[in-house]
Structure formats: C-alpha cells, structure tokens
Chain A
C-alpha cells in the first residue's frame, strides 16, 4: 500500500490498513512501520470486533497532526476551538448546556474512538435524510440534535462561531475519508448490548453494589468537586436523563452489558457482565 499525502481511508481486506496519514506528515520511513500494525489492534485485543472485509476503516487525525497540517492558520484556530468545545462543553453551561456532560463524555477519545459513536461519520454521510425527523439534515443540525437531547440544552445558532468551530472539528476528523461512502463504517455508533434472558432487579442491585458504588456512591449521587463531576450522578438533574430514558423504559437505574452505551469510558474498559436496564 502506497500511503501518499492524499491517500486515506480505504476499504480493508482482511486486517490491512487505512491510515489517515495525510496529516501526520511523517517521514516515509515511518509509514512502513505504521502499515505493519493494524489500526485498532488494541481494541480488538480488548474484545471488540475486528474490521470486516468490506468495512470502511478510518483513523482520524489527532490534534498533534493538526499542528503539523498544511492548512491555513485561521482554520487551525477554528478547529482547535471546536476541539475545546467538544472536550469541555461545560464552558457553554447555562447558555447551551444544562447538564454535567461534555460531548466527549459520550463520544470517547475526543470523538475519535470506534464503538463510542465516533463523530467523523456524520461529516461524510450528511446531508442526508433522517427518519427520526423526516427531512434532510446537515452536519450542523446533527450537532444541534446532540445539544438538545444529550446536553439537555439549546444548540448554538446555525452559522455561529461556536457551531462553525464544532463542525470544522468534525470535518477535520473525517480528513481523508470518502464522502458518501458506499461501505459500512467500522465502529460507527455504540454497540447494542445483548439483552439478558432474565431481568432481575436483585441482580442489578448486587452488581451495582459490587462494581459501581466505588465511583457513583451507594445512592447514585456520584462525586463532585467544585461543581464539576469526577464521577457523575447516575440519575437526577445533572445526568443525561434523556439518553438514559431513551434506552431505559423506566427512570430507574441504567445498567447495561457494556455500559459504554451510556458513554462512560470506564464502563467500556470495565466491561460489566450481565447488566441491563431494569425497573
């Protein structure tokens, strides 16, 4: 595989590689080494599925790559601002955000992580028709949706500086991925947990006692310092109520097989066995 400055996301065959090296601007000798190691190998070792034959595998560039990139400094500034808004959305608290979340609380790894709803796919699949609201949406509207439903907030205006910065960050992460790809995207969205055959409140409670109390506390109130969460409340005003309710038929405790579903980085790492939302 010849990694030129422009070659980027490619379809994989087997475990071959598609690297977003365009912006890595690395010496050519480096690229061979990178080729040797399949992307997302660590994920696969952790038990996530490996890329399938026909899937689009894209490794988004990092912020370090941005510094190296050959683009206008003004654009870099806007992308950096987007990154900052994405990872510290609490700076919009009270204006556009009304819970304790940051975009990156759910979209792990700064929005780059497969199986934690990486955000770049939106930049290459939109504008498109969405069944959810029955019209053609663009990227800004998709971002606005997450403000409304996941941040319990009101989105920044279309075309505003903040909206521009956020969408520029999304688009930057998609650098090199094909527009309107005709292949399925590796690691898009959150994996759906398997529903256990039997739901038991007692089991859920036992698992909660055993594995969750250390961070979220006995009563689910979490741990806050200076008003910001270290470990968020698992329910209540600060938490991502809508997100929970959308998956959980009742308000009670949300417990899932891979709690990644709710966006915690820990839960993905811990991989809690046998949990599911229950009454």
Chain B
C-alpha cells in the first residue's frame, strides 16, 4: 500500500510512528479494537458531550485504519467496495454520517458495526481527528477519456439544464471542496466511492440527505454522467481549484 502520509495540522508529533507498513498497521488495529471495545463498555452515553478532541479521536480511530488508512485516505477499490477518504472532511459532516450509520438512517454492512462501536463522544472525537488531516489524493479517474472528463467537468461546474441537473459546485462549493457541515467535499474523493454513492441515491438505497437535495439530482443522472463526474472529481488533486 503506497500512500503519501501527511500528518494532520497541529499534532504531527503524535503519530510520527504510524507511517506505512502493513504489519505495524494490523497490530495497531488489534490493540485499537480492544481499546475501543473497552472504552465503549465503560463510557456511558449519559455523559455530557465535550467538543471533539483529535487526540482522543486518534485512539478511537485505530480500528478504522484497516479501511480508511492511517492518513485517512481511504482507498479506491475497482470492482469492489471503495473506502472513502475521510481526511480533511468536515467534522460535522463526519459525525452526522456516523450517527446515521448507527441509527440505520444510512445503511452499509461494512461500516455499520464500526459506527455502532462508537459512543457520542467518540464520534465527536474521531470526526475532529479526521477533519484536521490534510486532504489526500484520490484514484479511480486515471483512465478516463478526455471526453468523459469534459462531461464530468461540465456537470461539476455548470450542470446540464437539458436534464435539469444543477451543477455540483453550486452545493458542494467552488471546486467541490465542501460548504459547511451539510455539503461535504467531493473533490479528491475516490471515483469508486463517488459513483457508489450516486448510484445508491439513484436506486433509493441512500436517503439520509437533508431535504432530498442530493437524491433529487442523482435520480436525473445517467450511468455515464455518474462515471464522468466521479472520474473528474477523483482527478482534482487537493489544494487545486477544481473550477474553470
């Protein structure tokens, strides 16, 4: 697994040790799992919630690295279920998704057990932890043709009114980097994941979006549109303006 490791802003010292190496990682997962279960048992949910703490979050997120990776990059898995990048995503958005998995408002067999392990405080903590990491590059868009990418860019920045598709950037912000806690960043997200989510909305399998804002649009997109916009956003490297 080759990935560039970038420590989150402000707490580089804490995880200098967890660079790459699968053996190191799996050990960390095991010990983390124990830690997490222990914490889950002892910490009562009746406790008042403190603001999310990235350092506590790191401890609670040890089990997550198996899929979301130590640097929060996730992984594009062609032909399989991709693991989304969490690094640099808005904390409020991450927390909302974890609550939604827990309550069943958002359904996914891989993710459900891990979300269920977290209490409210740990959700706030892991959200703070991932949100402070630097956005990592995404994959899955490397082989897209110029024509597909041009269509992707059109949908992302201008939309297609003939199909009544609003531009993605009008909600996900200029460059698709996200707006507040309600509109997540989609630029530099893995193509496999973007596409899976859009198909999930289109097929009625994901419906935890506020006011059906995302569902209404996904339903108007063709499979080609989904492939195009997924590839285009995956190719938007962090820090680059995805706009014109």
Chain A residues close to B by CB (< 8 Å) = 42-43, 46, 62, 87, 108-110, 112-113, 211, 214, 223, 225, 228, 230-231, 265-266, 269-270
A230 contacts which chain B residues (CB < 8 A)? 170, 173-174, 179
Q: Is the CB of B162 within 8 A of A269?
A: no
- Contact A214/B174 with A42-B162, A223-B180, A269-B166 known, Cβ cut-off 8 Å: no
In Å, the complex CA distance between A43 and B162 comes to 9
A231 contacts which chain B residues (CB < 8 A)? 179
B170 contacts which chain A residues (CB < 8 A)? 230, 265-266
Q: Which of A108, A225, A228 contacts B161 (CB 8 A)?
A: A108
B158 contacts which chain A residues (CB < 8 A)? 87, 110
Residue B27 interfacial (CB < 8 Å): no
Interface centre among B159, B161, B162, B220 (most CB of A within 10 A): B161
Contact with A along B171-213 (1 / 0, CB 8 A): 0011000011010000000000000000000000000001101
Task: Report the minimal beta-carbon distance from B233 to chain A, rounded to whole angstroms.
Answer: 17
Q: Which of A43, A87, A270 contacts B211 (CB 8 A)?
A: A270
Contact with A along B106-134 (1 / 0, CB 8 A): 00000000000000000000000000000
Q: Is the CB of B174 within 8 A of A269?
A: no
In Å, the complex CA distance between A62 and B160 comes to 11
Q: Is the CB of A266 within 8 A of B174?
A: no
Q: Is the CB of B182 within 8 A of A269?
A: no
Interface centre among A108, A110, A214, A223 (most CB of B within 10 A): A214
Q: Is the CB of B216 within 8 A of A214?
A: no
Q: Which of A43, A110, A211, A214 contacts B164 (CB 8 A)?
A: A43
Q: Is the CB of B161 within 8 A of A112?
A: yes
Closest 8 CB pairs of A and B: A109-B161, A42-B164, A113-B161, A265-B166, A230-B179, A214-B182, A230-B173, A42-B163
Task: Report the minimal beta-carbon distance from B100 to chain A, rounded to whole angstroms.
Answer: 16
In Å, the complex CA distance between A42 and B164 comes to 7
Given contacts A87-B158, A109-B162, A230-B170, 5 further A-B contacts (CB under 8 A): A42-B164, A62-B162, A214-B182, A228-B174, A270-B216
Chain B residues close to A by CB (< 8 Å) = 158-159, 161-164, 166, 170, 173-174, 179-180, 182, 210-211, 213, 216-217, 220
Q: Can you give 13 A-B contacts (C-beta < 8 A)?
A: A42-B162, A42-B163, A110-B158, A112-B161, A214-B210, A214-B213, A223-B180, A228-B174, A230-B170, A231-B179, A265-B159, A269-B216, A270-B213
Q: Is the CB of B166 within 8 A of A266?
A: yes
In Å, the complex CA distance between A223 and B174 comes to 12
In Å, the complex CA distance between A223 and B182 comes to 12
A225 contacts which chain B residues (CB < 8 A)? 173-174, 179
Q: Is the CB of A42 within 8 A of B220?
A: yes
Q: Is the CB of A214 within 8 A of B211?
A: yes
In Å, the complex CA distance between A109 and B161 comes to 5
Task: Report the minimal beta-carbon distance from B146 to chain A, rounded to whole angstroms.
Answer: 14
Task: Report the minimal beta-carbon distance from B107 to chain A, rounded to whole angstroms.
Answer: 23
A269 contacts which chain B residues (CB < 8 A)? 164, 166, 216-217
In Å, the complex CA distance between A43 and B220 comes to 11
Task: Report the minimal beta-carbon distance from B68 to chain A, rounded to whole angstroms.
Answer: 27
B182 contacts which chain A residues (CB < 8 A)? 214
**Residue of chain B at shortest CB distance from A271:** B216
